[in-house]
Amino acid sequence: MNAEKPLAGQVALITGGSQGIGLAIARRLGSLGARLALCARGKARLMKAVGALRAEGFEVLPVAANVARAKDVAALVQQTKQKLGVIDILVNNAGVGVFTPAHELSEGDWDRVMDTNLKGAWLCSKAVAPQMIRRGTGHIINISSLAGKNTFAGGGVYCASKWGLLGLSGCMAEDLRAHGVRVSAVCPGSVQTEFSPHAGKDPQKMLQPDDVAHVVAMLVTQAPQSFVSAVEMRPTRKP
């Protein structure tokens, strides 16, 4: 293993990779030598992110896709395999949030959050798992949230999606560990991104996207005989 580039020769697919946490994860894995496939729904923002990463010297494949659609996911995985090679690392980071009392949610809002945050992670994992099983190795990292363990007013559908993602992660870890495939969940608290409002919080005290990227890098470079099933992240000082 190259000490400076421990992921050299590996392919990492990051969903929701055009901004915030996903972009920070892509940059960190690229710095460790991984070839990157970036997925996002918005093509313009995706290409801007890819341009920035390529300017830094990283090999990046952009694929516009909606992870909530099985056909999009199948095309995403197929294009990545054709252009870069089989996927060694999958980071399920794509997510949306609607923050309103559960009894006031529309069915459309419920479906949009659950389809992206939970169904999307399942579809992507389902699509890459067979190739990982055949090779006897692989990492699936699900970006969940402390909202998957704690409740708050207005968080009904978001919390439900992240609690579900933690349950899915744990079960998949049991399903795949015998095949050499490691599944981990990362649960950050509030992160300083444009994802959701953080009224009254000091941005300088909040977790930063690079903090989450650091944890993902740790997970995919850990010793081969063990795996970390879940990581909870909090800022040093309460924002």
Q: Tell me which residues are annotated as active site.
A: 158
Output the six-digit token pair for 78.
């197929």
Paired tokens of 184: 């981990």
Helix (H) or strand (E) holding 121: helix 120-135
Question: In whole angstroms, how far apart are CA 239 and each of 20, 184, 187, 198, 202?
Answer: 19, 26, 17, 10, 5
- Closest of 27, 67, 63 to residue 46, by C-alpha: 63
* Element holding 190 (H helix, E strand): none
Nearest to 176 by CA among 216, 144, 127, 139: 139
**Non-local CB neighbours of 14 within 8 Å, separated by 6+ positions:** 22, 25, 26, 29, 36, 37, 38, 39, 91, 93
Query: 157 with 105: CB under 8 angstroms?
Result: yes
Sheet with strand 11-15: strands edge to edge: 60-64, 35-40, 11-15, 89-92, 138-143, 181-188, 230-233
Distance CA(146)–CA(159), nearest Å, equals 9
